[in-house]
Amino acid sequence: MLDTLHRMLELPQVTLCCIDTIHHALALRALRCSMREISFGRTLFLTDRSLEEAGIETRVIEPLVSREAYSQFVLKSLLPHIDTSHVLLIQWDGYAINPAAWRDEFLECDYIGATWFWHSDAMRVGNGGFSLRSRKLLVALQDSRIALAGPEDETIGRSFRPLLEREHGIRFAPEPLADGFAFEAAYPIGKPFGFHGLFNFCRVVPAEELIELTVHFTPDIARSPQLAQLGRNCLAMGLWRAAAAIFQRILDETPHDAAAAGGLSTASANAARLPPAGRNDPCPCGSGKRYKHCHGATGVPSQRPVSEPVVEKRLAHAVSVHQRGDAAAAEAIYREVLGISPGHAVAMHYLGVVEYQRGDCTKALPLLERSVASVPAEPEFKNNLGLAYAACDRERDAIAAYRAALTLKPDHAVAWNNLGLALQSINEVDSAIAAFRRACEITPTFAQARWNLSLALLLEGKFAEGWREYDWRLSLPELGKDRHRYAGPPWDGTEISGKTLLLYAEQGLGDAVQFVRYASVVARLGARVLVHAPDALCGLFASVPDVAEVLSVSAEPPRYDADLALMSLPRVFGTTLDTIPCDVPYMDVSMERRHRAREKLALGRTLLKVGLAWAGSKAHTNDRNRSCRLSMLAPLFEVPGVAWYSLQHGDAAAQIASVQGATAMAPLLPDVSLDDTAALIAELDLIISVDTSIVHIAGALARPCWVLLPFAPDWRWLLGRDDSPWYPTLKLFRQPAMRDWESVVAQVAAQLRSLASH
C-alpha cells in the first residue's frame, strides 16, 4: 500500500522565490503550482503588500515598477533574503511543471536557466525567468565591478559571465543540463522541470484553466506581444476556445487591433463547430455568452473542426525547429503539411521564409505573397514579406509591406526597425530616424533598433546623441562578442595618467584602422596604451605614435587598469564634426617594405600609378550595394597615361582576367600581407576604391584616395559632401541614384583623365 502513495520531491536546500509587485494573483498562482508536488526549504514571496497565504512567507519590499528595477533588485538586493544554498527564482509566467525531471546535478551549478538558442557563442545559459541560482552566485554579484548591463539574466549570463567564472569560480550549467531544466523560446525536448514564457501556457496549462486565467491578465499583459503570440500558438494547436478568450482579452484593451480581431474570428468559427454541452452552457467559442444566445442561435451544425490536430501539431513542431535554426528539418515538415493541405497559409508562409533565408527570392516571394493574401490580418506575414522585398532590392515594396504590418499592429517594434532600415536605404534618413525612435519607445532595450538609430544619427552628423546610442552595439551578439573577454572596468574618461589602458579592436579591419587614431590621443593624457588588434593589423598599428604595445587578439591581454572598445572612444571624448582628430598620417610602413613596393611600381615610372579595389568582404551586410563588379569600372581603363595596380584581395580578384582593359593591371599576389598592401598604397600616386579597408589605410597613410560610394552610404561618410572630416586626403564620389555606378564611373573617369594629362 505504501508503495502506491505519491511521494513529494524534497528540496530542503532550495528556497522557492517569486519577486513581483504588479501581478500579485498570478505570482501566487505560480508559487502554488510549483509547490504542488515539491517540498522546498522555504517558499518566499517578495512583494509590496502583506499577504496571508498558507505555506508562503511574504516579505514586503518597495514597489518594482519597471523591468530595470526588478533586474537591479535581483542583482544586488536578493542576497539578504536567501539563507539556503540555492534559490529557485520563478515569475508569474514561469514555474515548475514536472518534478520527475529534477536531477541532483542541478544543485552542482551556480546558475541554470533555459538556453538562449539565438546566441551563437558558448554563453547561452540562460533565461532568468525560471532559474536556479546558488547563494554563492548572489554573494559574487555584490562585486562592485558588476553593474546592470541590460536584463539581469543577460548581465549575469553574458556581460559578466567571464568575470564570474574567472574570479569567483561560478559554474554555469552546460547546455544539455539546462535543456532538461527548463524551456522558454525553444521547443522543449521531453518535459523539463520548469518553463518560462506566457506564450508557452498553451503547452502547460489545461485549456479550460487557460480560459479562466484570461480575466486575471492585467492591461499591460493584454497589450503585450507575448499574449498575442499565445493566442497564435493556441490557434496552431487547435485550442479554439482558449484562443478566442485570449484574443477577446486583447480586444478589451485594444479594440482596433486588427490581428486580434482576425484571430478571434478564426477561433470563434472553429470553436462553434465543437458540440456544445447544452443550450444554457457557455458557448464553446469563449465569448462568455450562453450557447443559445451565441452560436446556438446561428444554426451552425455541431461537427468537429475541419482543421486536423495532427497537422497543426506537426506545423507547431516545424516552427519550433525553424526557430532553433534547423531550416532543413522545418522545410520538410512545411512541405509535408502543404501536401495534406495545399492552401495552408502558415505552412506556405514559413516555407517562403525558408527560401528567403536561403537567398532565393524567386521562390520566396510567391509563397510569401500568397500567404499574405490568404491571411491579410496577420502583421507578422507582412513584416516577413517586407524583409524579402528588401532582400530583392525592392525597397519601395518593402516599405509598403512594413507600413501595412504597422497598420495592423502599431506597436510592432521589429516592423518599425525594419521600416527604418528600408527608409535609410533610400536615403530618407529623417524618416528612418523617426521609425527607429518609435521602435525604441515601444521596446527601450531593443539593442538592434538603438544601434540602427545611432547609425542614422551619425550619418546626419548628429554626433552627440549618435555616439551615446552607438554603444548599444555591444549588446548585440555579433558585435559585442569580444566584450566578454575583457574584465574591465571600462574607461569612462576619468583621470588615466600613469595607468594602463587596453583598447581593443572590433568589427571590420577598416573600423579598427579608422579609430586607432584615438590611441595617440589617450596616450597624450599620460596613459600607457595597449592595443589588442587582429593579426593582420598588428604591424601597422605598431607604427601608431605613442602606443606602448600592440598585441594579437589571439593572445591573452596582460594586466591593465581599464579597457575600452576602440569605437567607444569618440563617445568618451565627446567628438563632434569639428573635433575629429584628423591629423594624418597616423600610421606608417617600414622603409624596407616601401622599397620593395617601389621596385614593383618601377615599370610604370612615367605614368600615373593608380591602385584599384572594387569589392569588400561578402560577409558585410551591405556588400551587394557597396561593392561592384570590375566590369562596371571598365571605362576607367580607357583613360590614357595610367598604370593600374590591383589592390583587390579575395575571390573578386579573379575578375581581372575577364574584363577588357583590366588584363594589363598588375595583380596583387594572393598571399600578400596587409603590411605589404599598405606599402604599395604608400607609393602609389592615387588609390580608387569602393568602401573597403583599403580606403581607411590610404586615409591613415595620408595618400590621395577617391572613394566610390553607394547611394545610401555608411554612416562615416555623412551626406551631401565630397570630402571626409576623418581623412583629409580622401575625395568622395556618390551615386546620384540607387545602384547607379555608371554615373559615378563617368565622373571618376573624367577627373582621372584630367589628372593623368597633367
Q: Residue 345: which CATH number? A: 1.25.40.10
For 711-739, the DSSP string reads SS--GGG-SS-SS-SS-TTEEEEE-SSTT
Which residues touch 647 (CB under 8 Å, ≥6 apart)? Answer: 611, 612, 613, 668, 677, 680, 681, 687, 689, 694
Quote the CA–CA distance of 194 and 56 in Å, as a whole number: 19
H or E element that contains 204: helix 201-204
Residue 47 covered by a domain: yes
Bridge partners of 89? 17, 131
Residue 454 covered by a domain: yes
Mark whether 559 and 630 lie in a shared domain: no
Mark whether 564 and 624 lie in a shared domain: no
Mark whether 705 and 729 lie in a shared domain: yes
Residue 133 covered by a domain: yes
Mark whether 378 and 504 lie in a shared domain: no
Mark whether 211 and 143 lie in a shared domain: no
- DSSP structure class, residue 115: B
pLDDT in tens, 197-253: 999 998 889 888 999 999 899 999 999 999 999 998 888 777 889 999 999 999 999
- pLDDT at residue 320, as a whole number: 82
Quote the CA–CA distance of 485 and 19 in Å, as a whole number: 32
CATH number of the domain enclosing 489: 3.40.50
Residue 296 covered by a domain: no
Mark whether 174 and 65 lie in a shared domain: yes
CATH number of the domain enclosing 677: 3.40.50.2000
Which range marks the domain in which residue 31 is found? 9-196
- pLDDT at residue 485, as a whole number: 77
Mark whether 514 and 470 lie in a shared domain: no
Q: How many domains does the chain have?
A: 5
CATH number of the domain enclosing 150: 3.90.550.10
Mark whether 42 and 75 lie in a shared domain: yes
Residue 586 covered by a domain: no
Mark whether 461 and 321 lie in a shared domain: yes
Phi, psi of 148 (to 5 degrees): -60, 125
Residue 585 covered by a domain: no
Residue 301 covered by a domain: no
Which regions in the chain score pLDDT beneath 50?
A: 1-6, 274-277, 282-288, 291, 294-307
Last residue within a domain, chosen from 474, 498, 531: 474
Residue 285 covered by a domain: no
Mark whether 175 and 248 lie in a shared domain: no
Last residue within a domain, chosen from 511, 544, 573: 573
CA-to-CA dists, residue 544 to 517, 523, 586, angstroms: 7, 11, 6
- pLDDT at residue 2, as a whole number: 33
- pLDDT at residue 191, as a whole number: 82
Please give the model's pTM, rounded to 2 decimal places.
0.64
Mark whether 162 and 253 lie in a shared domain: no
Nearest to 423 by CA among 385, 444, 447, 453: 453
Mark whether 542 and 627 lie in a shared domain: no
Last residue within a domain, chosen from 274, 301, 328: 274
